[in-house]
Structure 1
Amino acid sequence: MRQGTTTRRHAAFCQGSIMRHVVVMAGTGAIGLMAVFMVDLLNLFYISTLHNPAMTAAIGFTAAVGFIQIAVSIGMSIGLGATTSRQIGAGHHDMAQRIASSFFVVMLILTSLIGFGTALLAHPILHALGAHGEAEHQAALYLYISSPMLPLIAAGMGCSSLLRAVGAAQQSMNVTLAGALISALLDPVLILWMHLELQGAAFSTLASRALVAALGAYCARQHDLLAWPVVRFIRTDTHRVGQIAMPAILTNLATPIGGIFVTHAMASFGLSAVAGQATIDRIVPVAFAFVFALTGSIGPIMSQNLGAGKPERVHETLVSSLKLVLGCVALTWAILFFGQNVVIHIFSATGTTASLIRLFCNWTIGGYFFIGILFVANSAFNNLGHPLYSTLFNWGRATLGTIPFVWVGMHFGPMGVQVGQVLGSVLFGVCAVMVAFGVVRNLKVEPAAIHPDSIPSLPPAQSAESAMIELDDLDNEAQEYEQGEEDARDRSLSRSGG
């Protein structure tokens, strides 16, 4: 594993145009996300052609359960990507490889427990969500097939984060596209032609996840990012990644709270209001795929430059990201403003549904600028040693930034609910960015050592306990390095004597 080329060990984001790095990373990520979102829409379309309301409802219930599972996987991949990026930026590729290999073991074990636990408790979980009858039965069958294989999607996300950590954005995108392609090909065959219905969708998802995990692991190995883990380092490496991963998991779990309240508020105004909100929820992921991709893309750029002791480039990354969010929202706003009649026609919207779509296309779409800058700020927090700030702002937006604003908006009808949801995002988005600039301004980093085999200079630990663990870890590395040098000399002497 140590015969990797210099290119593999090069910290790609520590030189060159920051704006270019951000655009390339987010652009390739957006393509992958768009492919996934489009496949999900096709999946739903195929199920809807069966004209079985129970099937369609089952998809909704499995999606609610799946979001919790995915949130855990995303949080762990964020922690993995941020930690390894910082080591790569400091010039310590071997340390990044060791941390990644150690944490992969823990990630696979945890997701296996979550996946099998979900399958065993499928009916109680679905019943608690309000599922019953045929919808509960179909959703349970889906979870029986897909949940035990949760480690596959965790592995795929983890490998994607590692590839982005070394700047291999195109490889990461290609892996995601391959998974989306296999799902798009299998969905109609399994669901419609073989009449497997929702179980066919589950098998298609399983095949897609397996392919992404296999290709991702292969590419990560090409970049010397994965190897057999060293058992004695698993605890310390997991602790290091967990300092970022745990808050990131909590952050990702915040979103359903606000979403459930908004849906409940819309439901009080009838099915047309719920349909309007559902239509907007389907437009948003496709329209703002670039903004969503930006969140995961700027992390490696910030982490590498932090590890390399270049805080000015970290600041430039934050500013460039905010400019791109503004440009993306402005462009999308213009397109939907002039194309709102087409959107309403495509979704056959009338009455309250059409009014909500018009309000979104004309005005409230602008609120996604503030949601976008909140995402950017959260990424900065996760990668600059302040992941709890990310958790605080996401939960703040999901509760204080949603419930009171939507409750007041309900007095003005469904339009008021939509406006209230946006106003809360404005408040927390602005506050989060202000704090993010403060974090970047107060960064205290030391330039990376010149010698490639030097011990990394890490940011201050968050607690005395973690500081002791890091010092012990570094001491172990130094001993390993010295032992390796002695072994090499012994082998050389043996060959000479022979």
Structure 2
Amino acid sequence: MTVPVIIGMVMMMSFGLIDTFFVSLLGTEQLAAISFTFPVTFTLISLNIGLGIGTSAVIAKLAGQGNQDNARETGTGAIMLSVLMVGILALVGGFSINFTFELLGAQSHLLPYIHDYMAIWYFSSVFLAIPMVGNSVLRARGDTKTPSIIMATGGGINALLDPMLIFGFGPIPAMGIGGAALATLISWIVCSVWVLYLLAKQRGYILPRLLSLPELAQSGRAILPIALPAAGANMLTPVAGAILTRVVAGYGEEAVAAWGVGNRLESFTSIVVLALSMSLPPFISQNLGAQRIERVKSAYWLIIKFVLGWQLLICVLLWLTSGLLAALFAKEQAVAELIQLFLIIVPLGYGLQGIVILTNSSLNAMHLPMTALVLSVVRLFVFFVPITVLMSLYLDLQGIFIGAVVANFLMAMVSVYWFRRSLHSLTDEHKQTEVN
């Protein structure tokens, strides 16, 4: 189930990475500007991820129980809720661009670049909600190949349009950083139309109509108890990222540019972990619905072992190519040196971070969203932010990089303990149910 998701995730992550590469060719100011946007854009993306987690958990369990009618209505409601909620946040964000990014520490000469990008990106975020949640409906039904094809197509369109719209091509004028956002908008519109047609007409996984308010409310009551805590947990990550971006901004534009590139590369190198976090929840939820608790346990420990080995391999590859990657994304030597420092230190914690991500996904799939939310709060605001900020006081920017590794190690230990405790509780409940 995971391999097709990896292909789709490669293309999905390519949106940000390709944007970052082409924008870096415009200069350090533009690269710093798009780096400031990452915590904000990822906040809205995280809301979609959370809604997708809730959708997947509920529909997969309904499918495991054989309740197809409720599954179709729930899928329709999930897409409608995602468009509504993301649309409201995008509207608020669009009217507060200057305020938001001044708060993040963006200097006044960067605000015009940020405005050019975000004014279009906020509008496009509504069209991202549809394929992200729609793909969760497909994965909940066991189809991980089609979502990958959809996202791969979107990524390909974005990669094709980026240089044309950023630098100009024939009659198309050069739009600079705004062209990157427009390329993203067009690709997401294509994906939205495709996934809606597929779900409503070809597969019949959602209803070919809008839900009434009572129906939407009923779907919301099924999805939101899982989706909102999951979304909240995911949205805490960019909030913590925003705090650290503000800290990094104190070291200058070069540091912000390097931090932005490092984070985009981190997202790209975590693709296997993120793919597993999408394919594992339907597996766990369906087996939970069928009372196959032992399979849940086996799947969790299998992926934990795999991820530690895989991310260690990624870490070694990043060490070996750090100089090349730094030169690829930076025109200035100062920025390149900071990118290389990031790639030498931070990847040490990628495997540990994978444990945290997959544990949270597993807990959401087990219908324990509040437990996952508590773990996210502990991870970010007990470990990650305090440790990185404290270490920056003694070791400057390098301290932030080292602090991230230390925080991931401590949180991985807590996550494994919490999962074992939660699974033990579920096993006891299952045994008690059998006795009754």
Distance in 1, matches of 2:81 and 2:96, equals 23
Which residue in 1 is equivalent to 2:205? 225
Of residues 319, 336, 347 in structure 2, which corresponds to 1:365?
347
Structure 1's 45 and 273: CA in aligned 2 closer, same or farther, altered over 3 A?
closer
Amino acid at match of 2:314: T
RMSD: 2.9
Question: Match for residue 116 of structure 1?
Answer: 91
Amino acid aligned to 1:308? A
Amino acid at match of 2:197: Y
Partner of 1:487: none
Say which of 188, 191, 201 aligns to 2:166: 191
Q: Is the 8 A contact 2:33 2:110 kept in 1?
A: yes
Q: Is the 8 A contact 1:179 1:209 kept in 2?
A: yes
Provide the residue aligned with 1:416 in structure 2. 399
**Which residues of 2 match residues 225-244 of structure 1 at below 5 A?**
225-227=205-207, 228-231=209-212, 232-244=214-226
Letter in 2 for 1:124: F
Q: Percent identity between the aligned chains?
A: 25
Equivalent of 2:59 in 84, 90, 94:
84
Q: 2:192 matched to 1:213? A: yes
Question: In 2, Cα distance between the equivalents of 1:129 and 1:400?
Answer: 21
Report the alpha carbon displacement of residue 190 of structure 1 after superposing the two structures with TM. Answer: 1.7
Match of 2:318?
336
Residue 71 of structure 1: aligned partner: 46
CA gap of 1:82–1:254, structure 2 versus 1, over 3 A, is same
1:460 is aligned to none
Deviation at 1:246, TM superposition (A): 0.8
Q: Specify which structure has the higher proportion of helix.
A: 2
Task: Tell me if structure 1 keeps the 8 A contact 2:55–2:137.
Answer: yes
The equivalent of 1:483 in structure 2 is: none
Q: In the alignment, which residue of structure 1 is the partner of 2:118?
A: 143
1:107 CA drift (Å): 2.4
Matched, 1:33 2:12: no
* TM superposition shift of 1:336: 3.2
1:100 equivalent in structure 2 = 75
Distance 1:66 1:267 in 2: 18
Matched residue SS, 2:206: coil
C-alpha offsets along residues 370-402 of structure 1, whole Å, 9 cap, x if unaligned?
A: 110001110011111111121111121111102
Q: Distance in 2 between matches of 1:205 and 1:369?
A: 30
Q: Please, which runs of 5 or more residues in structure 2 have no aligned partner?
A: none
The CA deviation at 1:197 is 2.0
Q: Distance in 2 between matches of 1:275 and 1:131?
A: 12
Further displaced range: 253-262 or 306-315? 253-262
| Residue in structure 1 matched with residue 236 of structure 2 by the alignment | 254
Deviation by residue 1:304-357 (Cα, 9 ceiling, x = unmatched): 111122111111111121122112112213333444554556567968964884
Instruction: Give 1:170 shift.
Output: 0.8
Q: Which residue of structure 2 aligns with residue 435 of structure 1?
A: 418
Q: Are the structure 2 counterparts of residues 352 and 408 from structure 1 closer, same or farther at C-alpha, using a change threshold of 3 Å?
A: farther
Q: How far, CA to CA, are the matches of 1:344 and 1:137 in structure 2?
A: 26
CA offsets 1:74-114 (integer angstroms, 9 cap, x no match): 21121111111111111222221111122332322222222
CA contact (8 A) 1:115 1:148 kept: yes
Are 2:63 and 2:71, in contact at CA under 8 Å, matched by a contact in 1? yes
Cα 1:50–1:301 change in 2 (3 A) is same
Residue identity in the other structure for 1:417: I
**Does the 8 A contact of 1:265 with 1:417 survive in 2?**
no
- Give secondary structure in 2 for the equivalent of 1:399: helix
Deviation track 1:161-219 (CA, whole Å, cap 9, x = no partner) reads: 01111111110100001111111111122221221223322221111111111112223
Task: Return closer, same or farther for 1:298/1:257 CA change in 2, 3 Å cut-off.
Answer: same
CA distance in 1, matches of 2:334, 2:119: 40
Are the equivalent residues in 2 in contact too, given 1:112–1:149 (CA < 8 A)? no
The structure 1 residue matched to 2:284, chosen from 256, 280, 302, is 302
Moved more, 273-282 or 411-420: 273-282
Which residue matches 1:481? none
Quote how far apart the aligned CAs of 1:229 are: 4.9
CA–CA distance in 2 between the matches of 1:275 and 1:184? 21
Deviation at 1:38, TM superposition (A): 2.9
Find the aligned partners of 1:338 and 1:135 in 2 and give their Cα distance. Answer: 33
* Shift in CA distance, 416/92, structure 1 to aligned 2, threshold 3 Å: same
Contact in 2 for aligned 1:153/1:213 (Cα 8 Å): yes
CA contact (8 A) 1:98 1:229 kept: no
How far apart, in 2, do the equivalents of 1:365 and 1:337 lie? 9
Quick one: structure 1 residues 268 and 62, their matched pair in 2 at CA, closer, same or farther if it must change by over 3 Å? closer
- The 2-side partners of 1:215 and 1:118 are apart by 27
Q: Decide whether the 8 Å contact of 2:104 with 2:245 is kept in 1.
A: no
- DSSP 3-state at the match of 2:126: helix
Alpha carbons of 1:203 and 1:266: their partners in 2 closer, same or farther (altered >3 Å)? closer
Partner of 1:393: 375
Q: Are 1:50 and 2:30 counterparts?
A: no
What TM-score, normalized to structure 1?
0.76
**How far apart are the structure 2 equivalents of 1:136 and 1:276?**
18
Where do residues 133-172 of structure 1 align in structure 2 (5 Å cutoff)? 133=108, 135-172=110-147
Q: Give the partner amino acid of 1:144.
A: A
Any conservation in 2 of the 1:356–1:415 contact (CA below 8 Å)? no
Displacement, 1:434? 1.5
Query: Which stretch shifts more, 428-437 or 165-174?
Result: 428-437
| Aligned positions of 1:440-479 closer than 5 A | 440-443=423-426
Q: Which amino acid aligns with 1:218?
A: Y
TM-score by length of 2: 0.86
Rg bigger for which structure?
1
> In the superposition, relative to structure 1, how do residues 237 and 270 fare at CA in structure 2: closer, same or farther (>3 Å)?
closer
**Shift in Å at residue 68 of structure 1?**
2.2
Equivalent residue pairs, number: 422
User: Match of 1:37, as an amino acid?
Assistant: M
- How do 1:272-287 residues align onto structure 2 when only pairs under 5 Å count? 277-287=259-269
